[in-house]
Amino acid sequence: IALAAAPRLLLLDEPGAGLSPDETQKMVTLVRKLKGRYTIILIEHKIDVVMTMSDRISVMHFGSVIAEGTPAEIQRAVAEMGWSGPMPVQKRVTPVMRRGRDLIAQAMTGSGKTGAFGLPSLEIIDPKLKAPQLLVLAPTRELALQIENEIKLMSKYLGLETISVYGGTAYGPQLEAFGRGAQVIVACPGRLLDHLSSGNVKLDELRVLVFDEADEMLSLGFWPDMRELQKYIPKTRLTGLFSATM
């Protein structure tokens, strides 16, 4: 409706196609001159062009590699990861988490489950707040490392500190990450409880709690640890349970 009422409309359809960096800059300069006289819509799939132009002009961006409204820093990161579009589970989970609703989701391994909870969670985190804000619990160290690596790639341009926490390894690197104010913790319950009971880390600022392979954690006997964790986790938070086999 707003666009239909606009007196003038400038549509840029793939303006970066076939342009050199110098030509792209000339395009940006031209569009800036027209900014006040036109409603500008940019349709563009090249993330470098989107970043260049959206930093300088008012645009509506279509053709995003992920959900509409996702910050440009995250769009740039996932484009570099080779994602061409949101997976079905991501399309369904993102709007629910953006509304602050708790949820249970079942999705097969390899279906984009980590992105489904990781991307909207990253939108909730405040990079300036040096405290844990996203906690992902996983049943095994292998899964914890995998999740942390993916979230680290997705948050590449957000300046976040991430850490995977599990037993059978030195405490030192984990303590150092806590000291730097890690905002994202991906943990196995046992080692995390050790840190919490020792006062090494606090979860007072936690905003999102995710159980990945929640049913697997129960089958492996983590139920007592998960109940114990309740003592340290704020009551007001967003909670998601994800599993491939639930």
pLDDT of residue 108: 80
Of 35, 76, 27, nearest to 59 (Cα)?
35
Please give the Cα distance from 136 to 193 (Å, whole number).
13
- Residue 164 confidence (pLDDT): 98
Q: Give start and end residues of each alpha helix (H) in the chain.
A: 2-5, 21-34, 47-54, 72-80, 88-98, 113-124, 141-154, 172-179, 189-197, 214-219, 223-229
Q: How far apart are the first and last CA of the chain?
A: 43
Q: Residue 106 CA to chain centroid, in angstroms? A: 19
User: What is the per-residue pLDDT for 60?
Assistant: 37
At residue 1, the 3 state secondary structure works out as coil
Give buried/exposed letters for 40-55 (b at 16+ CB in 10 A, else e). Answer: bbbebebbebbbbbbe
Which residue shows structure tokens 């001159």?
33
Find the Cα–Cα–Cα–Cα dihedral 93, 112, 50, 80, rounded to 10°: 150
CA angle 66, 13, 72 (to 5 degrees): 30
Query: In this predicted structure, what is the pLDDT of residue 70?
Result: 80
| pLDDT score for 44 | 54
CA distances from 79 to 45, 63, 68, 120, 224 (A): 10, 12, 14, 16, 40
- pLDDT at site 13: 62
- Write b or e for each residue in 197-221: b if 16 or more Cβ atoms lie within 10 A of its Cβ, otherwise e: eeeebebeebbbbbbbbbbbbeeee
Q: What's the helix, strand, coil split of the chain in %, to 5?
A: 45, 15, 40
Q: What is the pLDDT of residue 64?
A: 43
Q: For residue 183, what pLDDT is reported?
A: 98
Contact 241, 211 (CB under 8 A): yes
- Taking all residues of the chain, what is their mean pLDDT, rounded to a whole number? 83
- Asked whether the beta carbons of 134 and 183 are under 8 A apart, the reply is yes
Residues of the chain with pLDDT under 70: 1-21, 24, 28, 31-32, 34-68, 246
